[in-house]
Structure 1
Amino acid sequence: MTLRLSRQLLDRQIVDRSGLIVGNVADIGFGVDDDGVPYVGTLLVGQVALGRRLGGGLGRLLVAVATRLAPRLPPRTTGIPFHLVREVGSAVRLSCPGDRLPQPALECWLRRHVINRIPGAGRAGR
């Protein structure tokens, strides 16, 4: 499969096997095989990954907000292994349910303290 990574992966919605949106692709994590050939290893999600990709003042602000709102956890990126990707199109479709994926700390905090308090937000995902 040939991909133009910046066009076909970055900022796409990630949809689990049952059609629920589980996040957006904020950045891409690469690996290198035994022969030295690079490959896409993970799709990075969450505000920390997006902030690090953007860089500059806006990127530092995103990482700072993520750190401030989830202070008990160190700021880190959350990745979805690329082998779980079933299809790349207008969205990135996964072959597994969303509840088996790692959760970015800030998104968990926002869901618990903000999103779940909005009337009708029960349909907003996990």
Structure 2
Amino acid sequence: MRVQLAKQLLDRQIVDSDGGLVGRVDDIAFAVDDEGFPYVAYLLTGQGALGQRIGGRIGRVLVAIANRFVDDPPVQPLRIPLDQVAHVGSAVRLRCPASVLPPSPVESWLRRHLLDRIPGANRASG
């Protein structure tokens, strides 16, 4: 069976089990099993993955901008194991909530250095 991964996965929204938006599928990471057959191991999301996929000047600019917003460049993409994917349709639906996934390095940096410094940012709105 022939599968067109780029058409079926790339640029699809990723939605967690609670219906929350996680990001978009920016790239795919492969692994090789014990018999030498490749398989999709992870879906990648984030500016670093997108920039590398796009390539060229625009891709380098995306990666450079993302690297400015992390404490330890180069920025690493969020790697979602394929076994966490429940369904692929118009969106990629996950089996887990976003809270169990590692946080985006760019979002973590922005939260620490910008959002948490806003007065009242840590208070829940009611």
Q: TM-score, normalised by structure 2?
A: 0.82
Q: Who is 2:22 aligned against?
A: 22
* SS of the residue 2:61 aligns to: helix
Query: Is residue 88 of structure 2 the alignment partner of residue 63 of structure 1?
Result: no
Runs of 4+ that moved beyond 4 A? none
Q: Who is 1:4 aligned against?
A: 4
Q: Which protein shows a greater Rg? A: 2
Instruction: Give, in whole Å, the separation in 1 of the partners of 2:8 and 2:110.
Output: 27
Give runs of aligned pairs for residues 1-126 of structure 1, distance below 5 A: 3-70=3-70, 72-75=71-74, 76-110=76-110, 113=114
Number of positions where the alignment pairs a residue of Structure 1 with one of Structure 2: 114
Q: TM-score, normalised by structure 1?
A: 0.82
- Gapped regions of structure 1 (runs ≥ 5): 118-126
Shift in Å, 1:111:
5.8
Q: Which deviations, in whole Å up to 9, do the C-alpha atoms of 1:9-59 show, x marking residues without a partner? A: 101110000111111111000000001110000000100000011110000
Q: 1:59/1:21 Cα in 2 relative to 1: closer, same or farther (>3 Å)?
A: same
Identity percentage of aligned residues:
55
Instruction: Give, in whole Å, the separation in 2 of the partners of 1:15 and 1:3.
Output: 22
- Gapped regions of structure 2 (runs ≥ 5): 119-126
